[in-house]
Chains A and B, each alone.
Chain A
Amino acid sequence: MSRLYGPKGWTLIGVLSFIVFVVFPVLSLKTSPDSSFHLSQYWVTLIGKVMCYAIVAIAMDLVWGYTGILSLGHGLFFALGGYAMGMYLMRQIGREGQYQSDLPDFMVFLDWKELPLAWWNSDQFWWCALLVVLVPGLLALVFGFFAFRSRVKGVYFSIITQALTFAAMLLFFRNATGFGGNNGFTDFKRILGLPITTSETRIMLFVQTGIFLIGTLLLARWIVTSKFGRVLTAIRDAETRVAFCGYNTVHYKLAIFTLSAVICGIAGALYVPQVGIINPSEMSPANSIEIAIWVAVGGRGTLTGAILGAGLVNFGKSYFTQAFPEYWLYALGLIFILVTLFLPQGVMGLLKKKT
């Protein structure tokens, strides 16, 4: 326990947990909608969404901030997890779709008579939960194995991960691929038998995301403070020297890359029921770059920074798109430039200097 955080850190985590697990649910469920303390569904879904992003940011920070591998394909792992969950949610619609068929609407529409192989068992929650972990994990494992073994690194690695997510996006855009094409999955009705739009279900998802966020934070903290984590940092700073010391760097890199992909997948699975749609534009290269930007804004190599960055950028985006719909891109672009120029350690670097 004390290895992970000092007393101050634990207090902070405790307070945050209290807010997420107790204060927000109470404000949302137990206050009247007219009360000024009421937490509307808009805020519940928005904060829930940003927490999912924060989980992705931690995963990204593990591979980029601590191990020095900039992956521009993390959006793909996130989306794959989302798709796995989306498949389950589509099957949960049952016969309530437009066509009252056992098949999802888009399949009826393409004249498909039965579920394609990839959808096998997708009405079982446990199976989809397994897919959420396995698909991104296996993809990262295989892709990472070949990439790290042939010592693809630095910018090259960034570019081929970008190619990977771009290719996947094109693949999922195809209607014939069998995942709903451009429209993806939407119009979900229920999850685990519960109607998905009630405030109780939303708060349940919200709390689960919170649990997972704090869990991920502690896990990541545990990793980076362990010996394993130290080897990762060493790889970031001088990979050749680590290899000469007798460590097989491929194994270390592969392990953290796969773990990071799995975390992203789970975040994606939590994200989809909250925002209500998953489609291939989540895999666009721009989204993956944005993930890196959250981490950079918050501060690379600090886990709190990753969370902070995801929050700052996304709340900023939500606010700017409403406050200055025509000019918000200037603000966003400027923040990226200023942060990289003047805050190489991100917002965390600034905070640390102050104290």
Chain B
Amino acid sequence: MRILLILLFFAAAPVLAIDKGAVEKLASGDNDEKIVAIAALLAEGDPEAAAVLAKFAEGEVVVEGKVVEVVVNNRLRSAVTDALAALGLLSPERATRLEAAKALAGGADAVMLPLVKKALEKETDADIKPLLELTAASMEMKGGDKATRIAAIQRLGTSNSPNSRTLLSEAATDADEDIRIAAQKSLREVQGKLAWGERAGLLFAGISLGSILLLAALGLAITYGLMGVINMAHGELIMIGAYTTYVVQVLFRKTNYFDWYLLVAIPASFVVAAAVGMILERVVIRWLYGRPLETLLATWGISLMLIQSVRTIFGAANVQVENPAFMSGGFQAFAGVVLPWSRVVIIVFAALVLFSIYLLLTKTRLGLFVRGVTQNREMAACVGVPTGSVDMWAFGLGSGIAGLAGCALSQIGNVGPDLGQGYIVDSFMVVVFGGVGQLAGTVYAALTLGFANKFLEAMSGAVIAKIVVLVFIIFFIQRRPQGLFAVKGRAVEA
């Protein structure tokens, strides 16, 4: 009986140990009191407090068995997150500790310094230790004796995080001269690293935009470049691809395999867009071969109808396409630059699509036919190429690639009825700039325009950048009417 009582006492001990006053303050205090309460709970450092805090972050506090709803704003949430991270530093699991150290590296409240130091003493892991040292340094440099502060400042100089810059630029105007000098030196080091990061980030932005332009324009390079069809509904085929992705995603939401929906969405968006394209080709476009400017008008009409039908079916508002887990977020590639996974995946995807088209056009029978028909339709027909069905398949291929572009675009932008309109002018610019009938030209053109846009944007803002690029294309076409890569020929007129 006695033993039982003792056991009971121990079992109940953690609950008793929780500062009841603090919990009550969490439920009913004003925000300043809540912050104090969080610190108080943190000081206890026991797992039960962590559970209370985690619940609090979701907006609930249990007071005397009753659930009280509380409003948690950014300030409280960040205090709780930091507190939970600090508690996590003492966890036996390496992964938890690493996660916690990363969370705190963003800047932590001075209250946590003792906890961080305690963790630092015990820490042996080579990945976690430097992070903790930086966190400790960022807290130490703000107060304490001069030597510690200077040491902390020097340690911050070795980091490449933007937070260090914030801290150091504050210290660089410190009243104490030694600290000022040390801070300025460290600041220069950090800034040097960050500047490289910025340049690398810009380069990445250029490649990323280039890959998107390439995807949007590749389909057009086939339908327009190879077949000579001015398809103003190209943008809407992109939109159809994006909506197909949306539908697939909605179907997958009900299953447990949500993260794999792209495996189905990619082929589906290709097939649906290709099918729509082939129908259009059979019903409308094939009657208009050789009359490119009239195709322009008819396909414009088609694009109006496609936009309106999507509006009727899916509504005028945007629909939500969620990234699969592996494509959300990003990774820290260089100092202060986070590369979003979605953009990295799209770059790789664009390269794969390009490579497949290359194989298709050079290694398959269909590709041979397409090239043959492009070069000389009559001759191809004479030697038995079924030009009619080649046209249909080639147009389907171009449309399908537009669908793939839509699938990719759905991961980074809007999916709405107007999606395609934003890309049609750009796609035409890319194809014409690269040289009609040249896939290689399209690739170079997309990348050049992507870079040009991003570099100019960094210098002069987005609007001017876009205008300059357009004017550049106009001048370029005046100088070289056949684009970057002209098909060489001797005819007076192409």
State which of B288, B428, B478 has its C-beta within 8 Å of the C-beta of A152.
Answer: B478
Instruction: Determine the distance from Cα of A332 to Cα of B298 in the docked complex, in whole angstroms.
Output: 11
Q: Scoring A residues 75 to 100 as 1 if CB is less than 8 Å from chain B, else 0, what string do you get?
A: 00000000000000000000000000
B474 contacts chain A at the CB level, 8 A cutoff: yes
> What's the least CB distance linking B216 to chain A, in Å?
15
Q: Determine the residue in chain A with the shortest Cβ distance to B475.
A: A146
State which of A150, A166, A330, A344 has its C-beta within 8 Å of the C-beta of B294.
Answer: A344
B298 — which chain A residues lie within 8 A by C-beta?
A: 336-337, 340-341
A195 contacts chain B at the CB level, 8 A cutoff: no
> A174 to B463, Cβ gap below 8 A?
yes
Once A326-B312, A332-B304, A333-B302 are accepted as A-B contacts, the answer to whether A160 and B473 lie under 8 Å apart by CB is yes
> A163 to B288, Cβ gap below 8 A?
no
Once A155-B293, A156-B432, A156-B481 are accepted as A-B contacts, the answer to whether A341 and B284 lie under 8 Å apart by CB is yes
Once A289-B296, A329-B308 are accepted as A-B contacts, the answer to whether A156 and B301 lie under 8 Å apart by CB is no
> B308 to A327, Cβ gap below 8 A?
yes
Instruction: Determine the distance from Cα of A336 to Cα of B303 in the docked complex, in whole angstroms.
Output: 11
> A167 to B467, Cβ gap below 8 A?
yes
A154 contacts chain B at the CB level, 8 A cutoff: yes
A146 — which chain B residues lie within 8 A by C-beta?
A: 478
Instruction: Determine the distance from Cα of A341 to Cα of B473 in the docked complex, in whole angstroms.
Output: 33
In chain B, positions 2-43 with a C-beta closer than 8 Å to chain A are none
In chain B, positions 268-305 with a C-beta closer than 8 Å to chain A are 284, 287-288, 291-298, 300-305
State which of A160, A240, A292 has its C-beta within 8 Å of the C-beta of B477.
Answer: A160
B492 contacts chain A at the CB level, 8 A cutoff: yes
> What's the least CB distance linking B53 to chain A, in Å?
48
Q: Determine the residue in chain B with the shortest Cβ distance to A171.
A: B467
> B308 to A154, Cβ gap below 8 A?
no
- Main DSSP-derived SS at the A contact region: helix
- Main DSSP-derived SS at the B contact region: helix
A46 contacts chain B at the CB level, 8 A cutoff: no
A162 contacts chain B at the CB level, 8 A cutoff: yes
B471 contacts chain A at the CB level, 8 A cutoff: yes
> A156 to B477, Cβ gap below 8 A?
yes
Instruction: Determine the distance from Cα of A354 to Cα of B301 in the docked complex, in whole angstroms.
Output: 27
> B232 to A166, Cβ gap below 8 A?
no
> B302 to A337, Cβ gap below 8 A?
yes
B492 — which chain A residues lie within 8 A by C-beta?
A: 240
> A340 to B481, Cβ gap below 8 A?
no
State which of B288, B293, B463, B470 has its C-beta within 8 Å of the C-beta of A166.
Answer: B470
Instruction: Determine the distance from Cα of A156 to Cα of B431 in the docked complex, in whole angstroms.
Output: 10
A351 contacts chain B at the CB level, 8 A cutoff: no
In chain A, positions 328-355 with a C-beta closer than 8 Å to chain B are 329-330, 332-337, 339-341, 344
B307 contacts chain A at the CB level, 8 A cutoff: yes
> What's the least CB distance linking A263 to chain B, in Å?
21
B478 — which chain A residues lie within 8 A by C-beta?
A: 146-147, 150, 152, 160
A163 — which chain B residues lie within 8 A by C-beta?
A: 425, 429, 470, 473-474
State which of B297, B421, B429, B473 has its C-beta within 8 Å of the C-beta of A336.
Answer: B297
A159 — which chain B residues lie within 8 A by C-beta?
A: 428-429, 432, 477
In chain B, positions 443-491 with a C-beta closer than 8 Å to chain A are 463-464, 466-467, 470-471, 473-474, 477-479, 481
In chain A, positions 152-183 with a C-beta closer than 8 Å to chain B are 152-156, 158-160, 162-164, 166-167, 170-171, 173-174
> B297 to A329, Cβ gap below 8 A?
no
> A332 to B301, Cβ gap below 8 A?
yes
Q: Scoring A residues 196 to 215 as 1 if CB is less than 8 Å from chain B, else 0, what string do you get?
A: 00000000000000000000
Q: Determine the residue in chain A with the shortest Cβ distance to B464.
A: A174
> What's the least CB distance linking A101 to chain B, in Å?
27
> B305 to A340, Cβ gap below 8 A?
no
B230 contacts chain A at the CB level, 8 A cutoff: yes
Most chain A CB within 10 A, of B292, B297, B432, B473, is at B297
Instruction: Determine the distance from Cα of A9 to Cα of B293 in the docked complex, in whole angstroms.
Output: 30
A70 contacts chain B at the CB level, 8 A cutoff: yes
B293 — which chain A residues lie within 8 A by C-beta?
A: 64, 70, 155, 158, 292
A286 — which chain B residues lie within 8 A by C-beta?
A: 421
B493 contacts chain A at the CB level, 8 A cutoff: yes
State which of B309, B466, B493 has its C-beta within 8 Å of the C-beta of A170.
Answer: B466
Instruction: Determine the distance from Cα of A333 to Cα of B305 in the docked complex, in whole angstroms.
Output: 6
A266 contacts chain B at the CB level, 8 A cutoff: no
B473 — which chain A residues lie within 8 A by C-beta?
A: 160, 163
Instruction: Determine the distance from Cα of A164 to Cα of B463 in the docked complex, in whole angstroms.
Output: 15
State which of B284, B471, B481 has its C-beta within 8 Å of the C-beta of A150.
Answer: B481
A296 contacts chain B at the CB level, 8 A cutoff: yes
> A158 to B296, Cβ gap below 8 A?
yes
A251 contacts chain B at the CB level, 8 A cutoff: no
> B301 to A335, Cβ gap below 8 A?
yes
In chain A, positions 286-345 with a C-beta closer than 8 Å to chain B are 286, 289, 292-293, 296, 326-327, 329-330, 332-337, 339-341, 344
In chain A, positions 115-166 with a C-beta closer than 8 Å to chain B are 146-147, 150-156, 158-160, 162-164, 166
> What's the least CB distance linking A143 to chain B, in Å?
8
Q: Determine the residue in chain B with the shortest Cβ distance to A70.
A: B293
> A336 to B493, Cβ gap below 8 A?
no
A48 contacts chain B at the CB level, 8 A cutoff: no
> A329 to B429, Cβ gap below 8 A?
no
A296 — which chain B residues lie within 8 A by C-beta?
A: 294, 297
A173 — which chain B residues lie within 8 A by C-beta?
A: 463
> B481 to A152, Cβ gap below 8 A?
yes
> What's the least CB distance linking A43 to chain B, in Å?
27
A174 — which chain B residues lie within 8 A by C-beta?
A: 463-464
Once A154-B292, A155-B293, A162-B425 are accepted as A-B contacts, the answer to whether A336 and B230 lie under 8 Å apart by CB is no
Instruction: Determine the distance from Cα of A196 to Cα of B464 in the docked complex, in whole angstroms.
Output: 36
B466 — which chain A residues lie within 8 A by C-beta?
A: 167, 170
A335 — which chain B residues lie within 8 A by C-beta?
A: 301
Instruction: Determine the distance from Cα of A269 to Cα of B464 in the docked complex, in whole angstroms.
Output: 28
Once A167-B467, A293-B297, A329-B304 are accepted as A-B contacts, the answer to whether A151 and B481 lie under 8 Å apart by CB is yes
A273 contacts chain B at the CB level, 8 A cutoff: no
Q: Determine the residue in chain A with the shortest Cβ distance to B482.
A: A156
Instruction: Determine the distance from Cα of A292 to Cα of B466 in the docked complex, in whole angstroms.
Output: 26
> What's the least CB distance linking A314 to chain B, in Å?
15
A285 contacts chain B at the CB level, 8 A cutoff: yes
Instruction: Determine the distance from Cα of A173 to Cα of B466 in the docked complex, in whole angstroms.
Output: 12
Most chain B CB within 10 A, of A64, A159, A171, is at A159
B297 — which chain A residues lie within 8 A by C-beta?
A: 289, 292-293, 296, 336, 339-340
> What's the least CB distance linking B312 to chain A, in Å?
7
B477 — which chain A residues lie within 8 A by C-beta?
A: 152, 156, 159-160
> B425 to A337, Cβ gap below 8 A?
no
Listed from nearest, the 4 A-B pairs whose CB atoms lie closest are A336-B301, A333-B305, A333-B304, A167-B470
A-B contact pairs, 22 of them (CB 8 A): A152-B477, A153-B481, A158-B230, A158-B296, A160-B473, A164-B474, A170-B470, A174-B463, A174-B464, A289-B232, A292-B296, A292-B297, A326-B312, A327-B308, A330-B309, A332-B304, A334-B301, A336-B300, A340-B294, A340-B301, A341-B298, A344-B291
A interface residue numbers (CB < 8 A to B): 64, 70, 146-147, 150-156, 158-160, 162-164, 166-167, 170-171, 173-174, 239-240, 285-286, 289, 292-293, 296, 326-327, 329-330, 332-337, 339-341, 344
Contacts beyond the supplied A155-B292, A158-B296, A292-B296: 10 A-B pairs with Cβ under 8 Å: A152-B481, A167-B466, A289-B297, A289-B300, A329-B304, A336-B298, A336-B300, A337-B298, A340-B301, A344-B291
B interface residue numbers (CB < 8 A to A): 230, 232, 284, 287-288, 291-298, 300-305, 307-309, 312, 421, 425, 428-429, 432, 463-464, 466-467, 470-471, 473-474, 477-479, 481, 492-493
